[in-house]
Amino acid sequence: MIYTVTFNPAIDYVVRLDSPLQVAAINRATGEDCVLGGKGINVSGVLAQLGVESVALGFIAGETGAWLERGLAAQGLHTDFIHLQEGMTRINVKIKAGQETELNGAGPNIPEAAMQALEAKLDTLQKDDVLILAGSIPACLPQTTYERLLARLQGRGVRAVVDATQDLLLKVLPYEPFLVKPNNHELAEIVGRELTNDDEIVTAAASLQAQGAHNVLVSMAGDGALLLDENGTVHRIGCPKGKVVNSVGAGDSMVAGFVAGYLRTGDYRYALRLGTACGSATAFSVGLATKADIEKLLRTI
C-alpha cells in the first residue's frame, strides 16, 4: 500500500477577478473555486486517477477539516487523518487578477500526542509499502520531523519517497530513501553551485546517492527531467508540448506517476515516462491531472 503524509492540509479558495486587485476597496469576483489539497493529498489524488490505491495521512481540525475530509471521500480518496482537538484546517486565499496574490493560513498546532498518534499509524506499515513525505514542515513542528519518522521505520523494508528542499532533504539521506525528487534549482542549492548542463546535474545527483538515496529524480520544468537510478543508469526525458496554465501540484503529480509506474512494471524508464506525463498533465490543466489527459500525453512521450 502507498501512504502519503500531509502535515498541514488546506482548502484553497481561488478567486478570479477580471481587473487588477484594488487595495482598500471592494473587489467583486468573476468566478471562484474551492480546491482541497496539500502536497501529499495531491499525490493521492493523482494516484487515484491512475487506478492506484493510497491512504492519505495527516492532521485536520475544526469544521474546515471535516469539510476537507468529506470532500476527499467524495472524490474516492481513502483517508486516515488524525483529528486535532483545537484550531482549524487552514484556508489559503488565491486571488487571480492578472498577477496572482496569495494569503496562506497558518493551520492548527500539532501537539506531541498527535505526532505519537501518527507514528502509531506508521507502525502498521509492512515491507514494500511506500511512504511519501512531501513539502515543508509546519512551524509548530521541529525541522527534524522527517528524520524522526524515517528513523522509526528504518530496517523494516518500507520504501520512503521524499520531496523536500535543502536541509529537510539532506538530513533524510542517511535513512536511504527509495526516491528523492529535487528540482534542478533545489539541487543546485543543495550542492552549492550552479548546474548548467546534464553532466553537472548527474554529478550533483550522484552526490545525493552517495549519501544514501537510492534513486534521484530531478525535475527541470520545461526541460523535462533526469533520473539517476539505483543501478547507476541515467535516464533523460524531455517535456511534452503544451501550454503551462498551472504549476501547482505538477511536482506532486510527477511523484505519483513515477511511484505508480515503478510499482506497476519495476521499470525505471517507464516510471520516468509516466511521471513526466502526470506532471505535464497537471501543468497543462487548471486542476490536477486526469486519467484521460495523462494517457493522451503518455502516448506522445
**Largest separation between any pair of C-alpha atoms in the chain:** 59
Q: Which residue has the higher pLDDT, 99 or 152?
A: 152
pLDDT, residue 98, reads: 82
Residue 247 pLDDT exceeds 80: no
* Known catalytic membership, residue 123: no
Instruction: Write the CB contacts of 114 (distance below 8 Å, at least 6 apart in sequence).
Output: 59, 82, 84
53-104 residue pLDDT tens = 999 999 999 999 999 999 999 999 999 999 999 999 999 998 989 888 999 9
CATH fold of 2-9+37-88+107-298, please?
UDP-N-acetylmuramoyl-L-alanine:D-glutamate ligase (3.40.1190)
262-275 residue pLDDT tens = 999 999 999 999 99
pLDDT band at 166, cuts 50/70/90?
A: confident
Q: What gap in Å lies between CA 111 and CA 84, rounded to an integer?
A: 9
C-alpha pair distances (Å), 108 with each of 62, 136, 141, 189: 9, 15, 11, 30
Q: Are 61 and 138 in contact (CB under 8 A)?
A: no
Of the candidates 163, 252, 267, 293, the residue annotated as catalytic is 252
All three cell numbers of 90: 487552514
All three cell numbers of 120: 502509531
13-49 residue pLDDT tens = 989 999 999 999 999 999 998 989 899 999 999 999 9
236, containing H or E segment: strand 234-237
For the chain, the first-to-last Cα distance in angstroms comes to 28
Q: What gap in Å lies between CA 102 and CA 95, rounded to an integer?
A: 6
Rounded to 5°, angle at Cα 275 from 270 and 277: 95
pLDDT, residue 156, reads: 95
